[in-house]
Amino acid sequence: MCQIENLITEYGVNVFYVGNNGQFDDLVAEVLRKLKSRNPQISYSIVLAYLPEREKEHNQPSYTETIYPEGLEDTPPRFAISKRNKWMVQQSEYVIAYVEHSFGGAAQFTEYARKKHRMVINLADLTG
């Protein structure tokens, strides 16, 4: 994903937040792991929507850091991803997403980011 590398080299972005609820999140985390070896100044955190269950903790890949945003512990599970995503937007200037449809959680996430005047890079627009 050269867009991430462009944010690092052209815009000086050095902090990244990534979700952990899908293949796109996994792909972005893997790209950031590789980029960190060439760009030691960057850091990235996996932002959790749910506290991990003890028995599943051993199956989780090792991340640089995980964050569980304050207030999520009182959020009903069906709203946790949306609330986590809003937290990530509030911490960010740029949002990278892969949204093919105008409906669903990813579309709501990018729409919220635009309303908050964040630069949204939709990779689906670049590949389609």
pLDDT per position as a tens digit, 72-81: 999 999 999 9
Q: Is the pLDDT of residue 58 over 50?
A: no
Please tell me the predicted confidence (pLDDT) of residue 61.
57
Which is more confidently placed, 108 or 55?
108
Q: Which fold has domain 2-127?
A: Rossmann fold (3.40.50)
Please tell me the predicted confidence (pLDDT) of residue 106.
93
Q: Please report, rounded to a whole number, the percentage of residues in the chain having pLDDT higher than 70.
A: 90
Are 89 and 112 within 8 A, CB to CB?
A: yes
Q: Is the pLDDT of residue 116 over 80?
A: yes
Q: How far apart are CA 26 and CA 17, in angstroms?
A: 12
Please tell me the predicted confidence (pLDDT) of residue 9.
94
Q: Is the pLDDT of residue 63 over 80?
A: no
Please tell me the predicted confidence (pLDDT) of residue 54.
57
Q: Which of 20, 83, 74, 73 has the alpha carbon at shortest distance from 48? A: 20
> How many Cβ atoms are within 10 Å of 94's Cβ, its own excluded?
15
Domain locations along the chain: 2-127
Output the pTM of the full model.
0.86
Residue 87: helix, strand or coil by DSSP?
Answer: helix
Q: Which of 69, 95, 103 has the alpha carbon at shortest distance from 83? A: 69
Q: How far apart are CA 53 and CA 77, in angstroms?
A: 14
Q: How far apart are CA 102 and CA 65, in angstroms?
A: 32
